[in-house]
């Protein structure tokens, strides 16, 4: 009985409440429609709630970046990735000035490479649209908008080569196209039956 009373008193003296596992970080993709400062406020609030150290914050960041933000993160030096104050500062410097307007995003949503359109011509149209809106647009943003707009049979081959600049994407896709390497639909295969009696 005394043991039960002691346990009850110990629980009552324990002022630390259990953490709610439903309080989680939202992902960050680095797209212009996201506000990196608002996202970092959210990140800091969740980290404070869970009482994460700066080392833990740097580790958690790796797991929630997507799209453009992932590409950007991969390009950072390892010592920057591991230091929360450095990586936070780099996030702000890189993503705070994405000034692509909603109108441009809508135009980009409708823009895809046409079947017989030369790669360079398509790339020039896309780049002009992006630069008109933001003359200082970062290379990762250009890649984000260019790659998925390539024809499917070219897109996979270009992406597999890991281009890091807009110009590399154009060059690689032109090279692939010049080789005439186009994915042809495969004929359906039928199982071979052995007609032995």
pLDDT tens, position by position, 70-102: 989 999 999 999 999 899 988 888 887 655 666
Q: Are residues 76 and 118 in the same domain?
A: no
Assigned domain for 77 exists: yes
What is the reported pLDDT for 98?
57
Q: Are residues 89 and 52 in the same domain?
A: yes
User: How many domains, in total, are found in the chain?
Assistant: 2
**Pair 58, 81: CB distance under 8 Å:** yes
Q: Are residues 90 and 110 in the same domain?
A: no
Model confidence at 65: pLDDT above 70: yes
What is the reported pLDDT for 185?
42
Assigned domain for 7 exists: no
Q: Are residues 80 and 142 in the same domain?
A: no
pTM: 0.50
Rounded CA gap, 184 and 5, in Å?
A: 76
The range of the structural domain enclosing residue 42 comes to 25-95
**Pair 16, 50: CB distance under 8 Å:** no
Model confidence at 60: pLDDT above 90: yes
Residue 31's contacts (CB-CB under 8 Å, 6 or more residues apart) are 67, 68, 98, 144
Q: Are residues 85 and 120 in the same domain?
A: no
The per-residue pLDDT of the chain, averaged, comes to 78
């Amino acid at each position: 009985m005394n043991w039960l009373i002691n346990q009850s008193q110990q629980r009552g003296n324990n002022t630390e409440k259990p953490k709610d596992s439903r309080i989680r970080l939202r992902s960050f993709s680095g797209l212009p429609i996201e506000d990196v400062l608002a996202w970092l406020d959210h990140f800091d609030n969740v980290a404070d709630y869970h009482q994460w150290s700066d080392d833990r914050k740097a580790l958690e960041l790796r797991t929630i970046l997507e799209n453009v933000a992932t590409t950007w993160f991969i390009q950072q030096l390892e010592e920057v990735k591991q230091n929360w104050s450095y990586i936070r500062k780099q996030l702000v410097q890189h993503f705070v000035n994405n000034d692509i307007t909603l109108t441009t995003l809508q135009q980009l949503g409708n823009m895809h490479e046409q079947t017989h359109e030369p790669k360079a011509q398509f790339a020039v149209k896309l780049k002009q649209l992006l630069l008109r809106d933001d003359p200082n647009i970062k290379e990762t943003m250009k890649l984000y908008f260019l790659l998925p707009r390539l024809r499917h049979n070219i897109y996979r081959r270009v992406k597999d080569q890991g281009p890091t600049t807009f110009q590399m994407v154009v060059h690689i896709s032109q090279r692939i196209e010049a080789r005439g390497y186009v994915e042809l639909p495969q004929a359906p295969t039928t199982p071979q039956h052995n007609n032995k009696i």
